[in-house]
Amino acid sequence: MPLTDTAIRNTKPGEKAVKLFDGGGLYLLLNPNRSRWWRFDYRIDGKRKTLSMGVYPAVGLRQAREARDLIRKQLAAGIDPGLARKARISADADSFEAVAREWHAKQNWAADHARQVLARLERDVFPWLGARPAGEVRAPELLAVLRRIEARGAFDLAHRAHQICGRVFRYAFATGRAERDPAADLRGALQPAIQRHHAAITDPKDAGALLRAIDGYRGSFVTRCALRLAPLVFVRPGELRKAAWSEIDLEKAEWRIPAGRMKMRATHIVPLSVQALETLLELHPLTGSGRYVFPSERTRDRPMSENTVNAGLRRMGYAKDEMTGHGFRSMASTLLNEQGWHRDAIERQLAHGERDAVRAAYNYAEHLPERRQMMQAWADYLDALRDGATVVPIIRRA
């Protein structure tokens, strides 16, 4: 049954992406974050491909159908619409979209971050500025684009889009395709971003209750192990769920996360406490023959879903404004600082950004002896909290 605007507006997002089909290969992808993307699926030369066709409601139902009909004519003529689009963008090398994609391809980012940046451009900027020559875009045009983002209450995203566009325009200037950066004229023009922090438990008594809840978790054993390991290593949720057995040296009690998986693109060493090793050794017979420490329940070829740890916390009764997977980092940072550990050791173990990228690449082992001591003391402290003891942490200096 063909789509209607009413049906689109009345369909609410769920926990997983939903496809609303219109026919002829056209459908609207409704994501959990409420973004709505037009997509067109087609086959050519025996291969299945998908073409992005813009964001609803910027691209309305009628426009999407017209674009679909044009694409079907291309297919009937033996033309691959995806290749045709790439050729068109390449031919117009001075357009904002062409410059932005060229700039994006040159960045040395982690894959997840690179996808996120490109998705923001495709969703919020390209539909309005993509075809414009980068050198002709003026500040009021860019402000109008950013105002659309603000209009949906996404003030932080508007600021991030502003920063991204500024970098694209500076790249256009450096490559001779723009005379200046119009984004620089918009400083102070946007509404202040709302500062949001990841919900976290930082009170020792509440942390102990959380650890006891994790011990009693009745869901998937793999998820339970991930929940047990999360507070012991306090890495970012993406780094935890994509952990590979090849990165972990059980004999050395060390987990080395390669630069390609780190936000700051520098190798990160996680000393493993006795408690962390126990969790990994308990899990190894189940997942050790595969690539991932925490594989997906559907296939071992992929890591667990990014929502798995948070879903586990919800199952234990913790609301999203109480605790998140990222909150284990805040828990560790707050309590370790309160205990008097060396701030530089804590920051290095958290893998917070190093302004000098070259220095970061060589300093992944900085403060490592103290970090090893700190990680074991931290695990012992968590054990005491879980057991309900009155804890007076003893800081053991190297």
Query: Residue 111: its pLDDT value, please?
Result: 73
**Is 236 an active-site residue?**
yes
Amino acid at 278: E
Question: In this structure, are residues 161 and 124 in contact, taking their beta carbons and an 8 Å threshold?
Answer: yes
Residue 372 binned pLDDT confidence (cut-offs 50, 70, 90): very high
Q: Which of 19, 88, 362, 396 is catalytic?
A: 362
Instruction: Please choose, from the candidates 322, 319, 307, the residue with its C-alpha nearest in 3D space to the C-alpha of residue 199.
Output: 322
Report CA dihedral (122, 127, 130, 132) to the nearest 10 degrees: -170
Flag whether pLDDT at 245 surpasses 50.
yes
Mean pLDDT throughout 347-355?
76
User: Quick check: 362 and 261 in contact, CB under 8 A?
Assistant: no
The DSSP 8-state label assigned to residue 19 in this structure reads E
More confident: 396 or 4: 4
Q: Is 104 marked active-site?
A: no
One-letter amino acid for residue 277 of the chain: L
329 annotated active-site? yes
Helix (H) or strand (E) holding 329: helix 327-339
Q: Is the pLDDT reported for residue 267 higher than 90?
A: no
Task: Among 1-5, 14-18, 134-138, name the most confident range.
Answer: 134-138
Task: List strand residue ranges (DSSP E) for the chain, in order.
Answer: 18-23, 26-30, 36-44, 47-55, 248-249, 254-257, 268-271
pLDDT at 208: 92
Q: Which residues pair with 292 in a beta bridge?
A: 244
Residue 369 has φ and ψ, to the nearest 5°, of: -60, -45
With residues binned 3-state (H G I as helix, E B as strand, rest as coil), the percentages for the chain, rounded to 5, are 50, 10, 35
Identified catalytic residue from 343, 352, 359, 396: 352
Is 326 considered catalytic here?
yes
The kind and range of the H/E element at 71 are helix 61-76
Q: Which of 241, 329, 371, 372 is catalytic?
A: 329
Among the listed residues 65, 72, 263, 342, the single catalytic one is 263
- Does the pTM surpass 0.85? The reply is no
Interval 155-175 mean pLDDT: 92
pLDDT, position 397 = 45
Least confident of 13-22, 102-111, 252-261, 354-363: 354-363
What structural domains does the chain harbor? 5-91 (3.30.160.390), 96-186 (1.10.150.130), 204-386 (1.10.443.10)
Which residue in 289, 286, 254 sits closest to 268, CA to CA?
A: 254
Instruction: Summarize pLDDT for 26-48 with one digit per residue, the tens.
Output: 999 988 877 788 899 999 888 89
* pLDDT beyond 50 at 378: yes
Identified catalytic residue from 36, 236, 242, 367: 236
